[in-house]
Amino acid sequence: MQVEQGKYGATKDVYFEIYEVDGVDLRTNWTPAAADCQISTDGGAFANSDNIAVVAPTGTGLYKVVLSVSEMTGKVAIIKLVDAATKVFLDRVIKVETYGNASAQHPFDLGTASVAQTGDSFGRIGANGAGLTNINLPNQTMNITGSLSGSVGSVAGNVVGSVGSVADPSNIATAVQQKDVSAFSNTDQAGGILKRLIDVVESDEFIDTTATPWQHVLNKKGTPAAELARKDLFDVSGNDITSVATVIGKKTEP
């Protein structure tokens, strides 16, 4: 079956070929009659078309029928071409679907230039994610390869794996200054390491002369019971320092 599309509520030229009754050669000398071409709209009864089919052009076996506005005011028009007198051509059926109206078979207007859609103003994503910028990814789990540029608003969970390199290390310092690192857990990966480093920098230091050998001890600032680290002390010759059994000094960060 030949299938055509036409604008809803507008005339439509439908071109078609006609074959001899044996279906081999084109019928080039058919003289269309009014009853030879009938139309049914949206499953209704067949009736003679408003316009009689015509040759187009003469002697080629090609013909045309012009569907009227009323015949194109529906979803589907079925054209039935059957010789009403002595059969001199092969019967054929043509289906015409309408578009461009809420009542048409296809509401979208295929004959009108594209108009801007809401998504046209959105950023495009090219090959391998090129052009993907300024995105919001709520509650997403993904693998990111390649390089990230710009800024990352925040990472609520853990960063699992390794970070290859940081283009501007000063950004990390700024982030540390603006972040309350007390919320980090010592069991975190990046967060735990950062918290421990800051604890060490801010620690209270003293010499424990009760240990053998004496030891340099770091306690968490303001929390003597929270020991961070201790190291044995040696003199310039590499010998253990054990000569006095009292604390000889203490340093406290302001």
In a domain, 137, yes or no: no
In a domain, 141, yes or no: no
Domain stops at, among 65, 99, 133: 99
Q: Say what the pLDDT of residue 206 is.
A: 82
| CA dist., res. 159 & res. 193, Å (int) | 13
Please give the model's pTM, rounded to 2 decimal places. 0.48
Enumerate residues 6+ apart whose C-beta is below 8 A from 150: 133
- Which contiguous run of DSSP H or E holds residue 6? strand 2-7
Domain stops at, among 99, 128, 149: 99
- DSSP state for residue 209 in the 8-state scheme: T
Domain count, the chain: 2
What's the CATH code of the domain at 76?
Answer: 2.60.40
pLDDT digits (tens, 9 = 90+) for 108-161: 998 887 766 666 666 666 666 666 666 666 666 666 666 666 666 666 555 555
pLDDT at 208 over 50: yes
Domain stops at, among 49, 68, 99: 99
Least confident of 26-35, 41-50, 125-134, 205-214: 125-134
Q: What is the mean pLDDT of residues 101-107?
A: 94
Both structure tokens of 195:
């918290």
Q: Say what the pLDDT of residue 246 is.
A: 44
In a domain, 154, yes or no: no
Q: What is the mean pLDDT of residues 8-14?
A: 96
In a domain, 143, yes or no: no
Higher pLDDT: 213 or 249? It is 213
Q: In the chain, which residue ranges form alpha helices assigned H by DSSP?
A: 170-178, 190-201
Q: Which residues constitute the domain of residue 213?
A: 204-251
- Residue 134's closest CA among 152, 147, 120, 119? 152
Peptide linkage before 57 cis (omega within 30 of 0): yes
pLDDT digits (tens, 9 = 90+) for 59-80: 899 999 999 999 999 999 999 9
- Under the banding of pLDDT at 50, 70 and 90, the label for residue 245 is very low
